[in-house]
Structure 1
């Protein structure tokens, strides 16, 4: 199953780096940029997280909250947040429920080898929990991701 533009996202999103349950209602009255990324501390994922960190004030001004999701553990997320001073929560989707629900857990290939992994994808969700835009795969500009989200509105 996958979620598409026009679909409502679930209330329970998972647990963050502190073991706290993250819910859609935590972002009531705000838009949410929910971004899925492959791994903590990899070059592309770090560039993306730092772009969102650097543009965080502008994103908040535009009415957005940010939450990241990967299959890394809460401990890994906390280290990633500490290392790069990230001001937003990272959801630890270790059981892969969220990546599968959103349809971003897909077959990938590197150097001719096929494997399952998270396709970098950002869902822009309105104040009512409805998906309004999806930026997927190579269309995600990791170095300028905050600006990319702001341009989509």
Structure 2
């Protein structure tokens, strides 16, 4: 079987806040911006990985969702419990400093992990956890 990652999804509650973070802070390119039935999906990705997309989607992508469901999803998102993405970088310390300088919420400063990487973690503006790692030498 030959499979590869094509897309992953991140819930965001405000695309106007999320787009500058993913584009300007992380350096991802905006590839698509689609509105449908009062909702919005924005696709971003690394220029070095043209076949891999991160879709910034509404917390509940269902126009028929009840208000109770929307409220529950908003609470989970605010706690950072919906989704996350792990990124690779060639210099986790420099990546950390760049993202921290942009004002992102730091969850973990760079540290060596027992499983062979050096990594750090942040929350994006919606509360999702983003990890950045590099293999330890």
Question: Per the shorter chain, which TM-score range?
Answer: under 0.3
Whose radius of gyration is greater, 1 or 2? Answer: 2
TM-score of the two chains, using structure 2 as the length reference: 0.27
Higher helix fraction: Structure 1 or Structure 2?
Answer: 1
Higher strand fraction: Structure 1 or Structure 2?
Answer: 2
> Which one scores higher on RCO, CA 8 angstroms, separation ≥ 6?
1
